[in-house]
């Protein structure tokens, strides 16, 4: 691998997904995943597929995927750097990987100091789902192995459920209880082999499920997209679900595209595998859904939320502080409407730094000299929209 995919190819990148528009932003194009230093992560002569990005509580970010570079398909892991590039991948040792079996579709949860990892294993044409607890450093087994006798074509994780695709127009949810136990089904518009999604709670009462699917469409393997808006109403049944199928006719791909994964926190980036390089094998790529909120299905709702509202801090203009320390917080919503994903603060003209928190964000400055100062805060909402910056004057008395 490989040369960068040019804009002429980009026009054909995604079939069945009006989610991915072209506006001339070349830095947003589809690109193969790269190692730190510039080489490509995927190999020329083998397959890499089933990407899964894990952002841990410690701040270290991982890419798990499946590859047959060692013979049969095994699960590999790589660490993502701050620029979105990756360390050389390593195979996870037994018992996660076995010789002459196929391990596919890793789903990995952070349970520091361990990972909980679930994979599809195919052995002698028999498919089961295996769940392990492995040490985050040594990657060795450190807990009970659970075997679930189901045979999905693909796996993902959404809203605390394992989500399995079986090649039809439903995805099946499972919860964990000494193995994966049936919870319910998600009705979809496409015949999906795998489906990954994100859940966006964007107000106190409304939410959105967005699904990106690896589907069988018109004799090839394609990425499709659809969603469900969940809106609260004041009378029984008190909520209404509004499914929408994202348009499918404009961005047709001549390639096979499979096993998508959405990295929401990374900026609505879709990781997927494709055979577009031309040697018949699958490689890993990444694409940014940078026009997400321009979708007809989303834009009206998005506009009505008042994107760009101000972040409200618990600071009073010209509030007095002493001792050189300033502490403050912001609520989880922008203008009590749109939920926040990240928040950043700065003192005077200094650099912005990320605030800590998830439902309430807190900021702290120390060794602040006496005098007049300003605290600046902005936030990024769950749709990756930026708020206006709140600039509040304060006074340090000593």
* Better pLDDT: 370 or 398: 370
CA distance 158 to 231: 19
CA distance 271 to 254: 18
Tokens found for residue 121: 């294993």
- State which H helix or E strand residue 8 sits in: helix 7-10
- State which H helix or E strand residue 74 sits in: strand 74-80
C-alpha 25 chain-centroid distance: 21
The DSSP code sequence of 336-398 is: TTEEEEEEEEEETTS--EEPEESSEEEEEE-SPPSEEEEEEEEEEETTSPBPBPEEEEEEE--
* Better pLDDT: 307 or 10: 307
Q: How many CB atoms are located within 10 Å of the residue 239 CB?
A: 12
Cα dihedral value 31, 32, 35, 38, nearest 10: -60
- Which CATH architecture describes the domain 319-396? Sandwich (2.60)
Per-residue confidence band for 21, with pLDDT thresholds at 50, 70 and 90: very low
pTM of the full predicted structure?
0.79
- Provide the CB-side half-sphere exposure for 272 (13 A, CA): 30
What phi, psi does 191 have (nearest 5°)? -85, 105
Tens of pLDDT along 54-106?
Answer: 999 888 999 999 999 999 999 999 999 999 999 999 999 999 999 999 999 99
Per-residue confidence band for 200, with pLDDT thresholds at 50, 70 and 90: confident
Tens of pLDDT along 120-135?
Answer: 999 999 999 999 999 9
Q: What is the mean pLDDT of the chain?
A: 83
Query: What is the side-by-side order of every strand in the sheet holding 61-67?
Result: 48-55, 61-67, 74-80, 90-91
Q: The dihedral of CA 326, 332, 334, 335: what is its sign?
A: negative
Burial class (CB within 10 angstroms; exposed 0-12, middle 13-18, buried 19+) of 163 = buried
CA distance 10 to 30: 7
Q: Where do the domains of the chain lie?
A: 30-305, 319-396
Tens of pLDDT along 141-154?
Answer: 988 999 999 999 99
CA distance 345 to 125: 55
Is the confidence at residue 299, as pLDDT, over 80?
Answer: no
CA distance 153 to 127: 9
Which of 233-237, 343-347, 381-385 has the least mean pLDDT?
233-237
CA distance 309 to 116: 39
Tokens found for residue 86: 């990756």
- State which H helix or E strand residue 304 sits in: helix 296-304
CA distance 268 to 383: 8
What letter would DSSP give residue 7?
A: H
CA distance 37 to 33: 12
Contacts for 88 with CB less than 8 Å, ≥ 6 apart: 35, 78
Owner of token pair 């029984």:
236
Contacts for 218 with CB less than 8 Å, ≥ 6 apart: none
The DSSP code sequence of 95-115 is: TTS-TTSEEEEEEEEEETTEE
What letter would DSSP give residue 290?
A: T
CA distance 356 to 345: 10
| 30-305 fold | Tachylectin-2; Chain A (2.115.10)
Report the pLDDT value the prediction gives residue 88, as an integer from 0 to 100.
Answer: 96
Burial class (CB within 10 angstroms; exposed 0-12, middle 13-18, buried 19+) of 37 = exposed
CA distance 12 to 273: 15
């Amino acid at each position: 691998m490989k040369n960068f995919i040019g804009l002429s190819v980009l026009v054909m990148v995604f079939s069945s997904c009006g989610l991915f528009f072209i506006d001339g932003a070349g830095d947003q194009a589809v690109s193969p995943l790269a190692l730190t230093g510039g080489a490509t992560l995927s190999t020329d002569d083998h397959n890499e597929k089933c990407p899964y990005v894990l952002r841990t509580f410690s701040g270290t970010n991982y890419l798990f995927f499946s590859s047959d570079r060692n013979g049969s398909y095994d699960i590999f892991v790589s660490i993502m750097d701050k620029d979105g590039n990756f360390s050389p991948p390593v195979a996870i040792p037994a018992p996660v990987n076995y010789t002459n079996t196929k391990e596919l579709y890793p789903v990995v949860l952070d349970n520091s100091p361990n990972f909980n990892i679930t994979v599809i294993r195919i052995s002698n044409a028999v498919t089961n789902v295996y769940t392990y607890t492995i040490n985050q450093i040594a990657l060795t087994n450190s807990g009970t192995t659970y075997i679930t006798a189901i045979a999905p074509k693909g796996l993902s994780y959404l809203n605390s459920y394992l989500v399995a695709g079986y090649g039809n127009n439903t995805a099946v949810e499972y919860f964990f209880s000494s193995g994966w136990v049936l919870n319910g089904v998600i009705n979809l518009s496409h015949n999906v082999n795998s489906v990954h999604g994100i859940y966006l709670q964007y107000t106190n009462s409304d939410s959105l499920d967005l699904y990106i699917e690896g589907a069988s469409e018109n004799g090839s393997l394609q990425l499709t997209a659809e969603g469900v808006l969940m809106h609260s109403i004041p009378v029984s049944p008190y909520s209404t679900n509004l499914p929408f199928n994202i348009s499918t006719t404009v961005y047709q791909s001549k390639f096979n595209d499979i096993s998508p994964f959405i990295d929401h926190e990374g900026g609505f980036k879709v990781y997927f595998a494709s055979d577009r390089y031309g040697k018949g094998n699958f490689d890993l790529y990444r694409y940014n859904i940078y026009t997400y909120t321009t979708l007809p299905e989303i834009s009206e709702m998005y506009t009505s939320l008042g994107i760009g509202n101000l972040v409200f801090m618990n600071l009073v203009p010209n509030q007095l502080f002493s001792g050189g320390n300033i502490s403050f917080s912001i609520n989880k919503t922008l203008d009590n409407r749109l939920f926040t994903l990240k928040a950043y603060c700065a003192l005077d003209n200094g650099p912005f730094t990320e605030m800590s928190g998830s439902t309430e964000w807190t900021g702290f400055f120390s060794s602040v000299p006496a005098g007049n100062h300003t605290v600046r805060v902005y936030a990024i909402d769950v749709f990756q929209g930026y708020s206006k910056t709140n600039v509040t004057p304060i006074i340090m008395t000593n």
